[in-house]
Amino acid sequence: MKLLRSLLVSTFCRNRRLHVSAWKNQDKKKNVGEVAWIQPTGFDTGIVVYNPIVKSKVPLITRNEGYASWYMCGPTVYDSAHIGHACSYVKLDIIRRILVEYFDINLITMMGITDIDDKIIKKSGESKRDWKELTRFYEKEFFSDMAELNVQQPYLCCRVSEHMPQILQFIFQILKNGGAYVTDEGSVYFDTSKYQAYGKLGIKETTAPCTQGKRNGQDFALWKAAKPGEPFWESSWGPGRPGWHIECSVMASEKFGKSVDIHSGGIDLAFPHHENEEAQSCQHHGVSQWVNYWLHTGHLHINSMKMSKSLGNSVSIAELLDKFTADQFRLFCLTSHYRRGVEYTDDLMAASVAILKKVECFLDDCNNYVNGTLPEGNVDEVVILQSLAKTKSVIQSALAGDFDTPKAIREITSLVTLGNKMLHSPEEEGTVRNPAVIAALANYITSTLKSFGLETNTKNTQKSSIQTADVIDDLVNLRRDVRNFALEVKLKDKRLLEACDAARKNLSLHGVQIKDYGNTSTWSFGGARKT
């Protein structure tokens, strides 16, 4: 007991006092201390993350060295996802990649799929489609959309409808612990008055009415009594279906047990969903803290309002990908911090397109310089290697500081600007070409962007056959010879030059970008915006 008290005192944060309950059994006193968040014991990853409970950055410590569990709230599959959802999942995918690629953490990710819910039942009735067929359709569409956006699938995916025995057992244990009650109609509610730490994520009071047999407004449903015509499952309390919050607690607990390293979702899920998950899970497992770290992504706004189907201002993922590539949208997500809201505007998307284009063109130039087809360049090896080392250090620090991807992208673009200046500076007398250092620069930029989930479209990475590349080579070489001939003709042959310009323009429509350097021409796949 002395050791426990010592731990609680050492982790007391910013005078934000909330009671933490520990249930050794029903009859013992619940309050064992007054803390907002308990820093876990284990292995320091070298990362700090924002903690919404103490409202400051704290060390990210995993229970096991080199391994972490991560539960992410998945979709409620009753309709198509929009880019507000996509923005959240892309940002969390970036963090997932950073943890694996930069910090060598064996990350086991799990996503819960809500396939039974009020919205699903309503949509099923309106569309006259069976709820199972409806949810499987939208689940498949969701993962197809995520694949288009290069969002990695979770290691584990679980459906609520396939976990009813576990849900019933979970609720039974909470009732046994004295943390819930059954109403006359057969619903089961969590009793927040018996859980003194309720509100640890920042919101404790609610104006919700005491209806349907609830004892107070904060109480929430663990089990909802069946209504006529609705899908239901049998239970000890009568036919019904689970409440929304219990679903995630049960599925995550089944795979990860009584402690989860990381739990994520949009900021709108912090209350009531995540608050209620934490409360019922702590009550069930008899622990003071179920989730050690909560990650919440900011909202995507349009015209200064949260993007939402109910507001009629949503943009579908299909509509997004008709105008922009997945890389362009991902860069848009990278240039805003994951915790902050961001406005979706044409100007901001255009800025992301421009940055990506600049990087891709630079990588193409690097490739051409290394291959000897870019004749100019005044490369300073010492300056590049010093800048490269500095950039690596700054980016590593930025990512360790609550995943500051905007800073990382600024460092990358600064490195590109430096390299561009050298590649396109007039070659001075006595300058020695240095393809190796340019290759090292390009390799670092490419691998860094790849670690964020970007797949830059350069000549070497484009998914085209060798035969196609050979055909383009021959065509570009023919155009080069014709152009050089037209330039050598006295007074120049304008018709041939116009034809060469037209050929370049037409090829650009198919993603082939041609650059002329004096008597030399190079080409690359440009990754142009879709039309």
Q: What is the DSSP string of 53-111?
A: TTTEEEEEEESBTTEEEEEEEEEE-SS--BHHHHHHHHHHHHHHHHHHHTT--EEEEEE
pLDDT at position 3 is 37
Is 214 part of any domain? yes
**Is the domain of 37 the same as that of 175?**
yes
Rounded mean pLDDT, 445-461: 79
Q: Are residues 195 and 289 in the same domain?
A: yes
Q: Is 307 found in the same domain as 380?
A: no
In this predicted structure, what is the pLDDT of residue 494? 82
pLDDT level of residue 333 (50, 70, 90 thresholds): very high
Co-location of 308 and 368 in the same domain = no
Q: Which structure tokens are listed for 415?
A: 């490195």
Does residue 126 fall inside a structural domain? yes
Task: Please write the tens of the pLDDT for every residue from 334-360.
Answer: 999 999 999 999 999 999 999 999 999
Q: Could you say which of 461, 487, 518 is where a domain stops?
A: 461
Q: Which of 412, 443, 461 is the last residue of a domain?
A: 461
Give the pLDDT band of residue 531 (cuts 50, 70, 90).
very low
Compute the distance between CA of residue 62 and CA of residue 487 in angstroms, rounded to an integer: 66
Average pLDDT of the residues in 229-246:
96
Q: With respect to residue 332, please indicate whether it lies within any of the assigned structural domains.
A: no
151 located within any domain: yes
Mean pLDDT of 40-64: 97
Mean pLDDT across 287-311: 93
Compute the average pLDDT of residues 365-379: 89
**pTM of the predicted structure, to 2 decimals:** 0.83
Task: Identify which has the larger pLDDT, 147 or 207.
Answer: 147
How many CA atoms lie within 13 Å of 431's alpha carbon, on the beta-carbon side? 17
Residue 287 has pLDDT above 90, yes or no: yes
Residue 36: pLDDT above 80?
Answer: yes
Tell me, yes or no, whether 361 and 318 share the same domain: no
Using CA atoms, how far apart are residues 423 and 438, in angstroms rounded to an integer? 9
The DSSP 8-state label assigned to residue 162 in this structure reads: G
pLDDT at 144 over 60: yes
Same structural domain, 240 and 105: yes
At how many degrees (to 10) do helices 435-451 and 381-400 cross? Answer: 10
Q: Which of 254, 183, 186, 250 is nearest to 219 (CA)?
A: 183
> In whole numbers, what is the pLDDT of the chain averaged over residues?
87
Position 472 pLDDT exceeds 90: no
**Cα dist from 418 to 312, 391, 415, 428, 523, whole Å:** 44, 12, 5, 17, 22
Are 450 and 467 found together in one domain? no
Using the 3D structure, point to which of 428, 461, 494 is the last residue of a domain.
461
Nearest to 40 by CA among 289, 301, 354: 289
Range of the domain at 418: 355-461
pLDDT value for 492: 75
Task: Identify whether residues 238 and 307 lie together within a single domain.
Answer: yes
CATH number at residue 228: 3.40.50.620
When computed from its CA atoms, the radius of gyration of the chain, rounded to whole angstroms, is 28
Q: In the chain, what percentage of residues exceed pLDDT 70? A: 87
Let me know whether 490 and 431 are in one domain.
no
Amino acid at 229: G
| In-domain check, residue 141 | yes
User: 496: pLDDT confidence band, cut at 50, 70 and 90?
Assistant: confident
Query: Residue 339 domain-assigned?
Result: no
How wide is the angle at C-alpha 237 spanned by C-alphas 233 and 238, nearest 5°? 45
When pLDDT is averaged across residues 282-306 and rounded to a whole number, the result is 96
32, 42: one domain: yes
Q: According to the model, what pLDDT value does residue 267 have?
A: 96
CA distance 304 to 527: 30
Domain annotation covers residue 142: yes
Question: Which DSSP letter does residue 272 get?
Answer: I
d(CA 148, CA 142): 10
**CA 50 centroid distance within chain:** 16
Domain count, the chain: 3
Pick from 90, 16, 50, 72: nearest CA to 260:
72
| Exposed e or buried b per residue across 144-169, where buried means at least 16 C-beta atoms within 10 angstroms of its C-beta | ebbebbbbeebebebbbbebbeebbe
- Residue 490 shares a structural domain with residue 457: no
Establish if 472 belongs to a structural domain.
yes
Inform me whether the pLDDT recorded for 35 exceeds 90.
Answer: no
Write the pLDDT tens digit of every residue in 100-120. Answer: 999 999 999 999 999 999 999
Indicate the helix (H) or strand (E) that contains 255: helix 244-256
Higher pLDDT, 356 or 457: 356
pLDDT at 15: 30
- Per-residue pLDDT, averaged over 314-329, amounts to 96
* Residues 530 and 411 grouped into a single domain: no
Give the long-range contacts of residues 509-514, CB within 8 A, separation 24 or more: 511/457, 512/472, 513/361, 513/364, 514/476, 514/479
294 pLDDT tier (thresholds 50, 70, 90): very high
Q: Using 50, 70 and 90 to split pLDDT, how confident is the model at 209? A: low
CA angle centred on 497, ends 491 and 503, rounded to 5°:
175
